[in-house]
Amino acid sequence: MKVLDFIVRSNESLNDKNNLIKVAPANGEPLPEMSPGQFVQILVNNSPDVFLRRPVSINNTDLVGNELWMLVKRVGEGTEKICNLGTGDTMNIIFPLGNSFSIPEKESNTLLIGGGVGTAPLLFLGKKLSEKGYKPDFLLGGRTESDILQLSDFRQYGDVYCTTEDGSFGEKGFVTGHSVLQKNKYDFIYTCGPKPMMVAVAKYASSNEIDCEASLENLMACGFGACLCCIEKTVRGNVCTCTEGPVFNIKELTWLD
């Protein structure tokens, strides 16, 4: 973990809510190896009502270009300020934080299920699986077509299936209703997105005896295990999502009780 100033290399609006922000260390120092599932804590400047840092998952790293990618959704004043940063602006970041998704030792049939901005860490995970020579499938869900983010990036690493609630893109409905779940047999599911979606995915995985990891987005203050605010109730008791997570095997969680 370290605290470092980053320069915004580019900030692209993907739809009316989400931006893809690419940053690089301001002092030029090389980025360390990071793992999918890990996150960063961004300091928001010039905003008296925003006191705490904002946790954001790592969307991708480009170690050649020395770039860190982040998908940021405008949900309040803090994320709004981050999304309004321009090329050349700086942001102070604590990174990398948290644990990561587990990468199977041997090629297995994996499905990565994401909803909305929750797809962010799954792109980085897909890339890592692909680098291992595996070919994951992706199932991305949203309310409408514009909610499906970074489609062409995902397609580099595997087959992509989509659902939208209004039927404007892919199959109509929720991710857990997609026909690919009937068609293919999976050994491992990774999921990140809104909690109701992840709970539905966890129930599906559990009832079909598929191993499953979920990445949680609990409210947090510090991000490195000091404040004990972001706890999740697990079979081991209350644990910090920021240090023991954000990725949990669903068997550790109490969602299915």
Binding site for another protein (CB under 8 A): 1-3, 43, 48-53, 94, 218-233, 237-238
Residue 12 or 49 having the CB closest to another protein:
49
What does R_g of the chain's alpha carbons equal in angstroms?
18
Residue 83 or 229 having the CB closest to another protein:
229
Please, what is the minimum distance in Å from the beta carbon of residue 2 to another protein? Answer: 7
Please, what is the minimum distance in Å from the beta carbon of residue 81 to another protein? Answer: 14
d(CA 205, CA 199): 10
d(CA 11, CA 184): 37
Please, what is the minimum distance in Å from the beta carbon of residue 200 to another protein? Answer: 20
d(CA 249, CA 240): 14
Please, what is the minimum distance in Å from the beta carbon of residue 162 to another protein? Answer: 29
47, 121, 147, 150 from 136: Cα distances, Å: 41, 14, 21, 16
Q: Can you list the positions of beta strands (E) in the chain?
A: 2-13, 18-25, 39-42, 54-62, 67-73, 90-97, 110-115, 137-142, 159-164, 171-172, 188-192, 211-215, 231-234, 237-240, 247-249
Residue 94 or 189 having the CB closest to another protein:
94
Residue 181 or 247 having the CB closest to another protein:
247
Please, what is the minimum distance in Å from the beta carbon of residue 69 to another protein? Answer: 23
Residue 86 or 237 having the CB closest to another protein:
237
Please, what is the minimum distance in Å from the beta carbon of residue 78 to another protein? Answer: 9
Residue 96 or 141 having the CB closest to another protein:
96
Helices (H), 76-219: 77-83, 120-131, 151-155, 180-183, 195-207
Contacts for 105 with CB less than 8 Å, ≥ 6 apart: none
